[in-house]
Structure 1
C-alpha cells in the first residue's frame, strides 16, 4: 500500500493522497474525487492531507475507510461542515484570515436559517459566542455581507469549498504550537459528525490482501 503524500497522483506507483486511497478501498476508479464520499468532506480531507507534515499525514490512514459511503445530506450538511471548519479556524488564524472565517460563519448561518425558515440574520449561540471573541472581524464581515449573499446553490458549489479550504490553510499557517494536530482533530471530528448526519448505507469494503492496481501507462 502506498504511503500518503500530498497532491494528486496518476496511479499508485506515484503514491496516493487520502481520497485516492478512499477510491481504491471503495472499488472505484482511481481518483481524488470519488463518488463514495460527500464532496465537501472530500475537500476537507484533501486539504488536510496536503497541509500536514509527512509524519502526521500517515496518521490519517485509519480515517480513510470512515469516509466511504458517507454521501447525501444536501445543503444543510455543506453548511454544517463549512461552519465547523470556520469556527475551528477563527480563534487561531491571522487577522486577515479571521475576517474570511467570520464571513464564512455568517454565510453558513444564513444558509441554515433559510433552511429552518428563520430570519436570515439568525446566528446560533455557538457562532455568536465565537464571533464575539473577535469583534473587529465580526464587524468587518457584517459590513462585507451587506453587499449581499449568493443563493444556496452557489454556496454549495463555490462558497462552502472556499470556506473549508481557507480554514485548513489558515490553521496550517497559524502561529500555534501544533497546527498539524489541530487539523487532524478537525478532520476526525468532521468525519464523525458526517457519519451521524449521513450514515453509510453499506459496510466499508477493506481489502485484506493485495495493493492498488497500477497503470500500465508510462510515467
Structure 2
C-alpha cells in the first residue's frame, strides 16, 4: 500500500495508542483495521511477539519517516504461530541490530540477553546459520560488551538457562528498538525499518513451514484414491 495514495478516510500512522481511526493509528491498529478485526493494537491476526516489535518500531520511528512503514502493514496479517522459538529469534535479531550502535550500558544488557538466547536456542536444536552470523558480526562490532557479558554470566550463573519466556524476549526487543532509536547515527529510521522487515521475514518462515507441514499431513491422511479420482475428472474434462 502506497501511503501517498491512501484515502483521506484511512487512519494516519502516528505514535502510541488511539481510541479510534479518526485519531490516527499505530502500525498494529492499522493492521487490525485492514484485517477486519475489532480496533486494537493487539489484534489476533499477528503473532504477539511480531506485533510487539511492530509497535515499538512504529513509536520509535520519527514522524517524518513513519509513513514509510505503511507498505509493510498488510504483510503482518495472518502471521501467527505457536512456536515459542519465534519470540526468541525476534529478540536475537533485534539485539544483533542494536548492539553495533547502542550506548555502552545498553550494549551490555543486550549482549547478556543475546548470549542467553543463543544458548537457549542451541539447547532447543540450534538457530539458523545466517542468524548466528549476524549475531557474531554484531559482537565483533561491540567486543567490549561481549567480554563484559560473558564475564557477568560467568560470575553469576553456573549454567545458562535452557528456556526464555516470551515476556523476557519482548522486553529485550523493546530495549533493542529503543537503543537503535536513541543511537548517535544518521540512519536510525532506516535501521528500524530494516529490523521490522527482517522480523516479518522471520515470521513468514515459521508460518510457511507450518502450512507446508499441515498440507503434507492432510495429504497423507486423505482417503486412498481421492487424488486419482480428482485427476481423472480433470483429465475427462480436458
TM-score by length of 1: 0.81
**1:70 and 1:198 in contact (8 A); partners too:** yes
Residues 37 and 49 (structure 1), Cα distance of their counterparts in 2 relative to 1, 3 Å cut: same
Equivalent pairs counted in the alignment come to 195
- The one-character-per-residue Cα deviations of 1:56-113 (angstroms, maximum 9, x if unpaired) are 1111111111001101152211111111110011111111111122112112112211
**2:75 and 2:200 in contact (8 A); partners too:** yes
Aligned residues: CA RMSD: 2.1
Matched, 1:195 2:204: yes
Where structure 1 has 5 or more consecutive residues not aligned to the other structure, the ranges are: 202-219
Matched, 1:90 2:69: no
Matched, 1:131 2:139: yes
CA distance in 2, matches of 1:125, 1:62: 28
CA distance in 1, matches of 2:202, 2:83: 15
Q: What's the counterpart of residue 7 of structure 1?
A: 16
Residues 150 and 8 (structure 1), Cα distance of their counterparts in 2 relative to 1, 3 Å cut: farther
Q: State the Cα distance separating 1:7 from its structure 2 match.
A: 0.4
**2:13 and 2:24 in contact (8 A); partners too:** yes
Where structure 2 has 5 or more consecutive residues not aligned to the other structure, the ranges are: 1-9, 212-238
CA distance in 2, matches of 1:156, 1:57: 30
Matched, 1:42 2:51: yes
**2:49 and 2:87 in contact (8 A); partners too:** yes
- Following superposition, which runs of at least 4 residues in structure 1 exceed 6 angstroms of deviation? none
CA distance in 1, matches of 2:166, 2:91: 12
**2:102 and 2:179 in contact (8 A); partners too:** yes
Which structure has the larger Rg?
2
Structure with greater helix share of residues:
2
Q: What's the counterpart of residue 105 of structure 1?
A: 114
CA distance in 1, matches of 2:104, 2:177: 15
Alignment of 1:122-201 (within 5 A): 124-146=132-154, 147-148=156-157, 152=163, 155-199=164-208
